[in-house]
Amino acid sequence: MKTLTRQGPMTPLLALRRRLPASRMLGLCLLVGLMLFGWGVPLLGGADPYAQDLMHTLDAPGALHPLGTDHLGRSLLARTAEAVRLSLGLAFLSVASAVTIGLVLGVAAGWRRGWGDRLLGALADCVLALPGLLLVLMLAAIAPGSFWTLYLGISLVLWVEVFRLVRSVTQGLMASPQVQASRLLGFGRVYLFRRHLWPALRPQVMTLAAFGAATAILAVSSLGFVSIGLRPPTAELGLMMTELFPYYQEAPWALAQPVLALFLMVLGFILLAGEEPK
């Protein structure tokens, strides 16, 4: 049965707007806009992000190049779009892996407890004892410039927070009266997870995932900025800042583009991780 308003049936967009506070809606709109930009520019026949044209270096935005060109004459529209696509793709992939691992291991540890809980807790403590940035740097040193090395390092850092949160919440829920009653009635593990655990875990896990995505984007950009992450000619926001920084006086609009893209992505995820609606 459709939900009715005074103007008629409630549209999906209006229903989403009513469920989300204004800050979260703004964050979602920012991220959707960036995804449309990152994946839409190549579909519209944008320029090759790696094609150089030394006759048109540091051109200002114009009809031929809407966002101008960099110091090698490469289209900043195409390169910024590819950098946004790379950052968002790496963030989503890393967070999805970290949340999956942390959720599965956290529920298993909190459900069963015993030696398995202690073993997983000790493993998480060992990972926490090693600074996250140092872990990513160690993996990056093994295979410099590798996308998969960055993905593995960021995923290994992010899963611990999810695991510790899920284990703590699960331990409390398994001792609650409603879960005990469901177990006495003979309901299986899938039902207990779907009916009792996941509704309590979802808001907190989604908040951690949003913050984790922002952390992943900042980590990749920071490594690129100090020339430890991905290597040229890859279009990556931190690497683009490093390449364009010597020309900030001659072409400040060129340097502003990767900075603005990074700012909007991180802001979008932070707003999306805001408080739950009442």
Non-local CB neighbours of 147 within 8 Å, separated by 6+ positions: 86, 90, 230
> At which residue do the structure tokens 């990056």 appear?
140
Asked if 161 and 149 count as a contact pair (C-beta separation under 8 A), the reply is no
pLDDT of residue 127: 85
pLDDT over 60 at 171, yes or no? yes
C-alpha 251/C-alpha 24 separation (Å) is 34
pLDDT of residue 17: 57
Q: Specify the pTM.
A: 0.85
Q: If we measure between CA atoms, which residue out of 117, 261, 109 comes closest to residue 197?
A: 109
Question: What's the chain's Rg over C-alpha atoms?
Answer: 23
* pLDDT per position as a tens digit, 64-110: 889 999 999 999 999 999 999 999 999 999 999 999 999 999 999 88
* pLDDT per position as a tens digit, 114-137: 788 889 889 888 888 877 777 777
- Residue boundaries of the structural domains of the chain: 66-272
pLDDT of residue 112: 79
pLDDT of residue 63: 85
Model confidence band, residue 149 (pLDDT cutoffs 50, 70, 90): confident
Model confidence band, residue 2 (pLDDT cutoffs 50, 70, 90): very low
Q: If we measure between CA atoms, which residue out of 112, 133, 149, 110 comes closest to residue 230?
A: 149
Q: Tell which wins on pLDDT, 36 or 4.
A: 36
Q: What are the distances in angstroms from CA 231 to CA 137, 224, 238? A: 14, 8, 11
Model confidence band, residue 187 (pLDDT cutoffs 50, 70, 90): confident
* pLDDT per position as a tens digit, 6-23: 444 555 655 555 567 788
For 2-61, the DSSP string reads --EETTEEPPHHHHHHHHS-HHHHHHHHHHHHHHHHHHHHHHTTPPPTT---GGGTTPPS
Q: Tell which wins on pLDDT, 35 or 15.
A: 35
Task: Give, for 200, the enclosing helix (H) or strand (E).
Answer: helix 198-225
Model confidence band, residue 183 (pLDDT cutoffs 50, 70, 90): confident
Mean pLDDT confidence for 228-236: 87
pLDDT of residue 144: 75
66-272: which CATH topology?
MetI-like fold (1.10.3720)
pLDDT of residue 185: 83
Mean pLDDT confidence for 30-59: 90
Percentage of the chain exceeding pLDDT 70? 91
